[in-house]
């Protein structure tokens, strides 16, 4: 893998947005209304885009500075996040705390034989996160990441001028010299496009899945074929995304670039018996891609590492419990092989 930094004066990743504690419960089956399911295992772990991304990058031994920014409650979950960041060498000096709301958390129900999961989320302190909590000028990071858009009430709120605080943050970050990146959540909000569209001209990279891409493109049913997904990604690029729209599905991922390049990477062939849960797999993919972008890798290399980190993460029910160094992740995925190449 070649390294060719596009901005040597800046280094590292600053990630902000949703900081969540995941309370993961493995169940024997998904119950009908009023029925009972058995919890066979449970664990707590990191959750939310920036939290998962930074922990994954730390465990990948990325070799560059990592910093987080967010709003936590003054409670045990908030203290756990701060301890976890310190343990992983993540700069926590830009965190803020509040007594007016609890640290955000999600109850994650994972069905043992399929790995499928369902989320019950408490917005908590994340709902109060605003532009004033971000001191972007104090950071010399190369990449500014925000996630998840459509799950950050204040930053998502559309003002009378059609703009959002998130869009203003991205504009400031670009002016300061960051590469900007956003990840979305599969919200069913009717304001999905109105929330996301204002930020697109200030984004270098947009990460999203097929459902979220379909929502942006105005489709009720998400596409799963490469041709339609490429067309939809190109529509989003036309709204202003500056470098690439990066789409991840269970079977393959796509990099649709501003220059017209379309790069496809199949997913790792993952034996079902190795899968303990799929929570955090999208963020693990993002961590691999962010690592590659930071290091100046080609799109194909970024995507390959992304699917390998995602596959590695599937071996544990929490988001990051199985993520290892980037070299180990890459070797793991290559050993299992991929679902054919385009």
Q: Give the domain CATH number at 42.
A: 3.40.1190.20
Which pLDDT belongs to residue 186? 85
Q: What is the pLDDT of residue 189?
A: 73
Whether residue 215 contacts residue 192, with contact meaning beta carbons closer than 8 Å, is answered with yes
Task: Identify the bridge partners of residue 41 per DSSP, sorted by sequence position.
Answer: 26
pLDDT at 1: 66
pTM score: 0.93
Where residue 97 falls (left for φ over 0; alpha for ψ -120 to 50; beta otherwise) is beta
70 forms beta bridges with 95
Q: Given this model, what pLDDT does residue 219 score?
A: 85
Residue 113 within a domain: yes
Q: Is residue 308 part of a domain?
A: yes
pLDDT digits (tens, 9 = 90+) for 124-179: 999 999 999 999 999 999 999 999 999 999 999 999 999 999 999 999 999 999 99
| Residue 12 belongs to a domain | no
**Gap between the Cα atoms of 195 and 210, Å rounded:** 18
Domain housing 203:
19-336
Phi, psi torsion values for 105, nearest 5 degrees: -145, 160
- The pLDDT tens digits of the residues spanning 253-266 come to 999 999 999 999 99
- Residue 342 counted as domain residue: no
Low-confidence ranges of the chain (pLDDT < 50): 5, 342
Q: How many domains would you assign to the chain?
A: 1
Asked if residue 48 belongs to a domain, the reply is yes
Give the model's pLDDT for residue 220. Answer: 81
What was the pLDDT predicted at 342?
41
4 domain residue, yes or no: no
């Amino acid at each position: 893998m070649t390294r060719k930094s596009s901005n040597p004066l800046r280094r590292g990743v600053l990630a902000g947005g949703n900081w969540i504690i995941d309370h993961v419960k493995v169940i024997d089956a998904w119950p009908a209304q009023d029925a009972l399911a058995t919890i066979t295992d449970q664990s707590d772990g990191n959750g939310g885009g920036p939290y998962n991304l930074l922990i994954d990058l730390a465990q990948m031994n990325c070799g560059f500075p990592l910093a987080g920014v967010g709003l936590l409650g003054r409670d045990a979950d908030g203290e756990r996040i701060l301890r976890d960041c310190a343990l992983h060498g993540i700069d926590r000096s830009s965190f803020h705390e509040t007594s007016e709301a609890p640290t955000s958390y999600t109850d994650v129900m994972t069905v043992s034989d399929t790995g499928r999961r369902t989320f019950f989320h408490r917005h908590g302190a994340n709902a109060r996160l605003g532009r004033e909590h971000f001191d972007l000028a104090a950071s010399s990071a190369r990449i500014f990441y925000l996630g998840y858009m459509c799950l950050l009430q204040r930053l998502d709120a559309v003002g009378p001028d059609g703009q959002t605080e998130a869009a203003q943050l991205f504009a400031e970050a670009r002016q300061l010299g960051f590469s900007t990146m956003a990840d979305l959540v599969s919200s069913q909000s009717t304001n999905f496009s109105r929330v996301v569209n204002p930020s697109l001209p200030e984004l270098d990279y947009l990460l999203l899945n097929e459902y979220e891409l379909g929502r942006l493109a105005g489709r009720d049913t998400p596409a799963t074929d490469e041709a339609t997904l490429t067309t939809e990604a190109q529509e989003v690029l036309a709204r202003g995304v500056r470098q690439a729209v990066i789409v991840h599905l269970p079977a393959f991922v796509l990099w649709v670039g501003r220059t017209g390049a379309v790069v496809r990477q199949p997913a790792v062939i993952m034996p079902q018996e190795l899968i303990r849960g799929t929570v955090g797999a999208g963020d693990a993919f993002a961590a691999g891609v962010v690592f590659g972008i930071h290091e100046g890798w080609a799109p194909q290399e970024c995507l390959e590492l992304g699917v390998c980190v995602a596959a590695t993460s599937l071996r544990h029910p929490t988001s990051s419990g199985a993520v290892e160094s980037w070299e180990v992740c890459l070797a793991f995925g290559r050993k299992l092989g991929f679902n054919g190449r385009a």
